[in-house]
């Protein structure tokens, strides 16, 4: 199964946070899963760190290089098709990072692992 993680699911998985649902945890950890991470998630986390709203146990680059490698996560490059799809999305959700992740999911035809119920209003498959 191929999946795309939203930012919260990504953080909760790598930090072993109990708020991640069992279904989400199992889907991400499945041995046959191809798990995509959007650069938008890393950008969002970097902004929160720079604002003092979040901290990681290691430097940003060290932490994420290690997590991507350890968990076999694949960065899903942001394409013109992804950004073009953002332009066509209705405004059910105003968060620019989530809107890009939603667009990536729609263009690539992959489900999103997310607790955010608003994602389903865009017609994406949401795993939670």
**Own/partner long-range contacts of 49-54 (Cβ < 8 Å, ≥24 apart):** none
The model's pTM = 0.94
Q: Are 93 and 102 in contact (CB under 8 A)?
A: yes
Query: Is the Cα dihedral 103, 115, 76, 106 positive or negative?
Result: negative
pLDDT tens profile 54-103: 899 899 999 999 999 999 999 999 999 999 999 999 998 889 999 999 99
User: Any idea of the CA torsion for 46, 51, 54, 59, to the nearest 10 degrees?
Assistant: 50
CATH of 2-127, one of 3.40.50.1010, 3.30.565.10, 3.30.2350.10, 2.40.30.20: 3.40.50.1010
């Amino acid at each position: 199964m191929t999946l795309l993680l939203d930012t919260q699911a990504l953080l909760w998985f790598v930090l072993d946070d109990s708020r991640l649902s069992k279904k989400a945890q199992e889907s991400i950890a499945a041995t046959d899963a191809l798990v995509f991470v959007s650069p938008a998630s890393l950008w969002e986390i970097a902004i929160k760190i720079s604002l003092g709203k979040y901290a990681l146990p290691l430097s940003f680059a060290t932490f994420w290089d290690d997590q991507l490698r350890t968990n076999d996560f694949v960065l899903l490059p942001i394409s013109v098709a992804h950004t073009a799809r953002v332009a066509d999305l209705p405004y059910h959700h105003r968060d620019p990072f989530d809107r890009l992740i939603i667009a990536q999911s729609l263009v690539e035809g992959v489900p999103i692992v997310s607790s955010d119920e608003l994602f389903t209003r865009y017609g994406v498959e949401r795993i939670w």
